[in-house]
Structure formats: structure tokens, C-alpha cells
């Protein structure tokens, strides 16, 4: 058993291996494989084969810089997509300690601390006062 592991480690030395983009490709390939089992679309098996071959090509590649750049590009796109679907609610560092309200008169965003109960908020722009739960 140990001999097999040593040979595998020597084979993988200097190769890129698996990253987040490889995992994503593997999951997409498996999803298309499952879809292809139930829906008979002619090109889906070719698509699954292409995705899996490309995934293994990336893992066994010795061009680490290029594979790393591909992974970084994937991570940027993934972060943009998840931020879009999250609605950017948790994007600020103090999102857990403050509420953001809009002034009912002028629409100005106002940041107030959480956990203070019912408070009167004065808009710094138009000086309108309104009551909100903190």
C-alpha cells in the first residue's frame, strides 16, 4: 500500500492537482451525467466526456501558473455570482452590528447600531425624524 502511495506522490510531483475550479467541473460533469441518464439528448454524453477530460487535464498539468490563473478567474466569477444572489447584504465588515435604513423623505441611507430597541432616527441630509427598531 505504501509503495503505491509513493509512486503516486512521485507522479504528481510538479503537477497542479485539484482546486476549486476542478471540483466545480467535476460536479458539473456529474450533474450532466445524471441529467443524461434521464433525458436523452444526443450531445450530453459528449459534453460530459469533454468536461471530465478537461478536468483531468487540469489536474495533471505541469503548467501551474496557467492553472492557478484559471482558478483565480473562476473564483472571481463565483464571488460575483454569489454576491449578486446574496444581494450584497453581508458585504460590509460591520454588517452584523449595524442596520441600514433609508430616510422616508429623501431616501438617504442611514446606519444605526443594532440592539438599542426603538429609537428616533434623524436624517443627516433633510433632518426628518422617524422611529425604527434598532
pLDDT at 107 over 60: yes
Q: How confident is residue 73, by pLDDT bands cut at 50, 70 and 90?
A: very high
Residue 31 has which C-alpha cell? 450533474
The whole-chain average pLDDT of the chain stands at 86
Write out pLDDT tens, residues 49-71: 999 999 999 988 989 899 999 99
Q: How confident is residue 91, by pLDDT bands cut at 50, 70 and 90?
A: low
Q: How far is CA 134 from the centre of its chain?
A: 30
Is the CB of residue 66 less than 8 Å from the CB of residue 57? Answer: no
What is the structure's pLDDT at 14? 81
pTM, to two decimals: 0.59
How far apart (Å, rounded) are the C-alpha atoms in residues 67 and 132? 51
pLDDT at 5 over 70: yes
Amino acid at each position: 500500500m505504501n509503495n503505491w502511495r509513493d509512486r503516486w506522490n512521485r507522479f504528481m510531483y510538479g503537477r497542479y492537482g485539484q482546486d476549486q475550479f476542478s471540483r466545480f467541473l467535476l460536479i458539473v460533469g456529474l450533474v450532466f451525467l445524471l441529467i443524461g441518464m434521464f433525458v436523452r439528448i444526443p450531445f450530453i454524453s459528449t459534453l460530459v466526456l469533454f468536461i471530465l477530460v478537461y478536468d483531468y487535464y487540469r489536474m495533471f498539468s505541469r503548467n501551474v501558473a496557467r492553472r492557478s490563473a484559471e482558478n483565480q478567474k473562476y473564483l472571481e466569477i463565483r464571488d460575483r455570482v454569489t454576491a449578486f444572489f446574496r444581494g450584497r447584504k453581508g458585504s460590509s465588515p460591520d454588517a452584523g452590528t449595524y442596520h441600514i435604513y433609508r430616510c422616508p423623505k429623501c431616501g438617504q441611507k442611514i446606519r444605526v447600531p443594532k440592539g438599542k430597541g426603538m429609537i428616533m432616527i434623524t436624517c443627516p441630509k433633510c433632518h426628518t425624524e422617524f422611529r425604527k427598531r434598532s
